[in-house]
Amino acid sequence: MEMIIRSCIKKRAAVFSVGAFGDRWYKIAQANNVPADHFKSEPGEPTTPEMVEQALKTGKYDVVTVTHNETSAGLMNPVHEIGQIIQNYPDVVYLVDSVSSLGGAKIEVDKAHIDICLSSTQKSLGVPPGLAVASVSDKAIKRAESVENRGYYLDLINVVNRVKKNYQYPSTPATPHMWALDYQLSKIIDEEGLDNRFNRHQKLADIVRAWAKEHFALFANETYASNTVTTILNTKGKSVSGLNDELGKRGFMISNGYGELKEKAFRIAHMGDRNETDLRDLLAEIEDIWGLKQ
């Protein structure tokens, strides 16, 4: 995130946020002295193509950042529809954070006109943490070439040139992670099949959403509910940290609400290599601990 927001901006970034990870883009821009404006949606609501169009019409921006899957809110933004607007602005570079969705939901970067789609290995790709991956368009490279002071370790152009030249990196990469990613992509994900993998994520999301609505409520507008993680409003005022203590004794764990949503909400992940049996076992344990069974 730091590499690309720093390398792609000559004028000003329009940073769209629907939660903690969207806000992070803005904090990164500020920390790097990159001019940026912060556009926040109402809690639980997406970044809309209309919001993006309104910002771009001002002519102030040459970069848009959007979080595809906001892991704090359990919300998936309509990145393809937003791309249809951005393509009308040829000078605008479109940066998308797909950290918690790549590998769990279909993202057609070319159709969506996404210039840089970045992700990380530890979420829906199901590989240990420590590696970031990205697709980079020629347009983004051209822009970055004209930006001064891109940094040293995080200079996008230096990395792109070295990779293009001989599949090397300017500094020593985390090679064990690359082997792990290669195995996951060519064995686990290829053998499952991409469409099967996306459908499994959809199915697990449907199960958790139905369960959430039966006992609690969804945090996000359901039209935009995430297929990789569900954020559930703690409408019954239960202790989430207490739940995790009990779940831990049984070999399970969930996530508390992120930041301000701590104890007000909790999150159930259904990403990576999760299967339906695991997920149903987890829900049954929660029902047992919280006395939700009738």
Ligand X SMILES: *Cc1c(COP(=O)(O)O)cnc(C)c1O
Asked if residue 41 binds ligand X (CB under 6 A), the reply is no
Which of 9, 29, 52, 99 is the binder for ligand X (CB under 6 A)? 99
Site string for ligand X, 48-67 (x = CB under 6 A): -------------------x
Q: How far is the CB of 150 from ligand X (least distance, A)?
A: 21
Asked if residue 21 binds ligand X (CB under 6 A), the reply is yes
Q: How far is the CB of 164 from ligand X (least distance, A)?
A: 26
d(CA 234, CA 266): 7
Q: With CA atoms as reference, report the closest residue to 7 among 164, 171, 140.
A: 140
From the list 32-40, 45-53, 95-103, 218-226, the region that binds ligand X by CB under 6 A is 95-103
25 token code pair = 């883009």
Asked if residue 181 binds ligand X (CB under 6 A), the reply is no
274 token code pair = 């999760």
From the list 6-14, 94-102, 150-158, 194-202, the region that binds ligand X by CB under 6 A is 94-102
Residue 271 neighbours by CB under 8 Å, 6+ apart: 100, 103, 104, 123, 124, 126, 201, 228, 229
Pick the closer one to ligand X by CB: 88 or 153. Answer: 153
93 token code pair = 């570079």
Asked if residue 71 binds ligand X (CB under 6 A), the reply is yes
- DSSP codes of every residue in 48-71: -HHHHHHHHHTT--SEEEEESEET
If you ran DSSP here, which 8-state letter would residue 260 be given?
G
How many other C-beta atoms lie within 10 A of the C-beta of residue 190?
11
* Total of residues contacting ligand X (CB under 6 A): 9
Q: How far is the CB of 97 from ligand X (least distance, A)?
A: 5
- Residue for token pair 């409003």: 233
Site for ligand X in 108-127 (CB under 6 A): 120, 123
Residues that bind ligand X (CB under 6 A): 21, 67, 69, 71, 97, 99-100, 120, 123
